[in-house]
Chains A and B, each alone.
Chain A
Amino acid sequence: MAALSLFTSWAACAADPKVRDLADLSLEQLSNIEVTSVSRRAERLQDAAASIFVITADDIRRSGVSSLPEALRLAPNLQVARVSANSYAISARGFNNAIGNKLLVLIDGRTVYTPLFSGVFWDSQDVMLEDVERIEVISGPGATLWGANAVNGVINVITRPAGETQGTLLAAGGGNQTKGGAARYGGEMSSGGHYRVYGQYFDRANTEHANGTSVFDDWNSGRIGFRADWGGTARGFTMQGDAYRGELDQALPGTQRISGVNLLARWNRQLAENSSVRVQAYYDRTERTQPGTFAEHLDIFDLEFQHTLRPAASHHLLWGGGYRYAFDRVDNSAALAFLPADRNLRWANVFVQDEIALAPDLDLTLGVKAESNVYTGVEWLPNARLAWKAAANHLLWGSVSRAARAPSRLDRDLFSPAKPPFLLAGGPNFQSEVSKVFELGYRSQPMSAVSYSITAFHHIYDRLRSLEPAPGGGLVIDNKIDGTGNGVEAWGSYQATQAWRLSAGLLELRQRLALRSDSLSTQGVAAEGNDPKHQWMLRSSLNLGRAYELDMTVRHVSALPSPLVPAYTAFDARLGWRVSRDLELSLTGQNLFGPAHIEFGNPATASLVERSVFLKALWRM
């Protein structure tokens, strides 16, 4: 009994920091502590007229995941499927595919989709998860602010400012599938700024087919990087960069190699009380050698400018522009060619958005972006949003938008084999895929311990990518699929006690895609993606006294139709032990119960996702 009451008081302490615990925080961190909300969610979330879910640093730590794609499983409004040890299919509101192209991903303001297929090579994108501040996941279009490709969603990975990652952090872990480690050091510069440097390495084991043979997809990757910040919101400058390389096994004829380097600078200045500017520039180089298929060397230069101002009391105006230049050089193989092999790509955009306070509780946001690309010229990307703050913690919102997925090299320049007669040819007239989107959402925190969000959406798709028979035989890429996507996204959380939090998420999706009447395709619509009708998850985060944390997640994904992938339910758990103020140990298990399952691909050739365990030590000095 005595032991029990001791635990009880410890539990109260953990969620109830004393001055002693707070004194270790920086000024910035102190001013970010929410003192009026139990949920510890970003406050502006309550006001955003969009379907936005924020994965916090604490969510990531408590989930025990060791990679960015696995961390994205925490967002109920994303579909995340593991294709193999080194590849993921990630999407929002459908069209999930290992080469999905309707989701825009940014890491600290740097767009990481490749113009090769307008999607993300998830094996090349990573961050040191311990230094992530939050991941904002917006389902639905974000084209007015983020441009073409933000058709069905935007993921913003945001790392902490260097001032908040001071000192030494060492992380090391190992398990039956992954082994790895990371180190970071942060310090102060004599000029008043702060910096950090980090390095990390991991090795992931092969997966197996259902018949027990190896997929030959083990891989390893190493990454180093830095970030330096001077000043703050009034006047600030940030520089950051990363370099990485990785080796990915494949069945034959040899190991795939990836590498890359990027460097970004961002400058912000407050001009007056309600006026500020931000300028950002970066260089991003990626290399990929896939023996037997292709090799790519891609250099991207990107420049962006934005200005916020308040021309009148009821208007918040945001306008800006950007220019992006890419040199893409491909080494073709006999099996597959991008023609021309080298192409220079350019995108330019201007945008304006005005947030108008129609009444104290009613905000109207109107915005439009014009973005040009080398293939189709200018795309107009408008949106209108209305938010009604029915009461202090209740927000009802609706939106109408147009988003476009501009052509990529895959749509226009891809040929297979490399010489005629082609079995597959890029579409010389391939146009942008267009989506018109209607959304209605409600978000509420009816009491301090309960919050939830519900969004209903209706997407109308025009000119989706199809494969038409070519006049001389083979197939040619065209735009002859139309369709709709309807669904509901909902999530909520309940802080049952100070030490116990329950969260749940639900996704319902009904997609109807059909070939246009003038299509002669025999390929159908299966290549667009393979999506479940429902997906749900339940999470429990429990503090067991001051030193222990127990987190459990059950997630369910219903069957994928074509190719048929059976429904699965997975159970993940993590037990964390704060040994001392500086040392934390954790044991994470994924897919703890039930047989190994596949998450994506043709069941005969897909990778099985098996039970995994991972033991990790985290040491802060």
Chain B
Amino acid sequence: MINLKSAPLRRWRQLASAWLALIAIAAVFPAAAQSDGDAAVLERRVKATFLYKFLSYVEWPENALPKPNTPFTIAVIGDDALAAELAEFAGGRATEGRSVVVRKVNDPGEAASAHILFVARGENPRLSQLVKATQSKPVLIVTESDGALASGSMINFVVSGGRVRFEISVDAADRRQLKLSSRLLTVALNVRVGTP
């Protein structure tokens, strides 16, 4: 039979020492304190990853990728940190059999030769200008500003329910001869068809 008097006491002592040990371990490994910037960092990294992933779910016309070894170019305007992190990851990496080049750009003229152009929030006032400068070029314009689809963006990031989601304008992509895969449309929060 279990000794009812001493067993619980012993068990409690063991539990208490286990918890003390745990607290001691936690004290020895003081992980980086949570700062307000962390959420923004994660949001930026998720967006950077999406940009890289879009390469696999968009079909560019042949003239945009003339040679089998023509690299994919992702141009970033207005977010140097995102460009740097994406470059660090994608540099030397191949997707769909092509290497990936990440460029920080400033001049709209430089953007016209990119496959993806990411326009950060701060540069949204220049969006119309950038759309015009790349007009008729098969450039997938990705933004992160409310209402950007109406200004000619094809994919716009929105933070919804605490998560990075995106909305798509199929017509804007069509006009640039970009084919968006059905998988991409499925994951999108919103798909716009038939609006300017």
Q: Which residues of B are found within 8 Å of A552, using beta-carbon distances? A: 18, 22
Q: Is the CB of B34 within 8 A of A495?
A: yes
B120 contacts partner chain A, Cβ-Cβ < 8 Å: no
Counting chain B CB atoms within 10 Å of each CB, which of A31, A44, A550 scores highest?
A: A31
Known: A23-B52, A232-B187. A449 touches B34 (CB 8 A): yes
Q: Is the CB of A30 within 8 A of B164?
A: yes
Q: Is the CB of A499 within 8 A of B31?
A: yes
Q: Is the CB of B11 within 8 A of A569?
A: yes
For residue B159, give the distance in angstroms from its CB to the closest CB of chain A: 7
Known: A542-B26, A593-B14, A594-B11. A35 touches B2 (CB 8 A): no
Q: Which of A8-16, A300-308, A311-319 contacts B (4 or more CB under 8 A)?
A: A8-16
Chain B residue nearest to A7 (CB atoms) is: B29
Question: Bound complex: CA of A571 vs CA of B52, how far in Å?
Answer: 45
Question: Bound complex: CA of A594 vs CA of B2, how far in Å?
Answer: 10
Of residues 33 through 67 on chain B, the ones whose CB sits less than 8 Å from some CB of chain A are 33-34, 38-39, 41-43, 45-46, 48-50, 52-53, 57
A234 contacts partner chain B, Cβ-Cβ < 8 Å: yes
8 closest A-B pairs by beta carbon, nearest first, are A232-B186, A499-B31, A12-B32, A11-B31, A594-B11, A19-B89, A22-B49, A36-B162
Q: Is the CB of A17 within 8 A of B42?
A: yes
Question: Bound complex: CA of A16 vs CA of B37, how far in Å?
Answer: 12
Annotate A11-51 by CB proximity to B: 1 below 8 A, 0 otherwise. 11001111110110101101111111110000110000000
- Please list the residues of chain A having a beta carbon within 8 angstroms of any beta carbon in chain B: 4, 7-8, 11-12, 15-20, 22-23, 25, 27-28, 30-38, 43-44, 192, 231-236, 448-449, 495-500, 540, 542-545, 550, 552, 554, 569, 571, 573, 593-595
For residue A27, give the distance in angstroms from its CB to the closest CB of chain B: 4
Of A22, A36, A233, the contact of B45 (CB 8 Å cutoff) = A22
Interface size (B, Cβ < 8 Å)? 53
Q: Is the CB of B29 within 8 A of A27?
A: no
Q: Is the CB of B14 within 8 A of A594?
A: yes
Q: Is the CB of B26 within 8 A of A23?
A: no
Tell me what chain B mostly uses at the interface: helix, strand, loop, or mixed. helix
For residue A2, give the distance in angstroms from its CB to the closest CB of chain B: 14
Q: Which residues of A are found within 8 Å of B148, using beta-carbon distances? A: none
Question: Bound complex: CA of A542 vs CA of B18, how far in Å?
Answer: 14
Q: Is the CB of B85 within 8 A of A19?
A: yes
Chain A residue nearest to B186 (CB atoms) is: A232
For residue A141, give the distance in angstroms from its CB to the closest CB of chain B: 27
Q: Which of B69-77, B103-111, B177-185 contacts A (4 or more CB under 8 A)?
A: B177-185
Counting chain A CB atoms within 10 Å of each CB, which of B8, B19, B46, B159 scores highest?
A: B46
**18 A-B contacts (beta carbon < 8 Å):** A16-B38, A19-B90, A20-B89, A23-B53, A27-B183, A31-B163, A35-B159, A36-B162, A497-B26, A498-B32, A498-B38, A499-B29, A542-B22, A542-B25, A554-B19, A569-B12, A594-B11, A595-B2
Question: Bound complex: CA of A25 vs CA of B89, how far in Å?
Answer: 15
For residue B22, give the distance in angstroms from its CB to the closest CB of chain A: 6
Q: Is the CB of B49 within 8 A of A8?
A: no
Of A8, A449, A593, the contact of B29 (CB 8 Å cutoff) = A8
Q: Is the CB of A192 within 8 A of B183?
A: yes
Question: Bound complex: CA of A18 vs CA of B19, how far in Å?
Answer: 32
Q: Which residues of B are found within 8 Å of A11, using beta-carbon distances? A: 29, 31-32
Question: Bound complex: CA of A605 vs CA of B52, how far in Å?
Answer: 62
Q: Is the CB of A4 within 8 A of B32?
A: no
Q: Which residues of B are found within 8 Å of A33, using beta-carbon distances? A: 42, 46, 163-164
Known: A7-B29, A571-B18, A593-B15. A18 touches B163 (CB 8 A): no
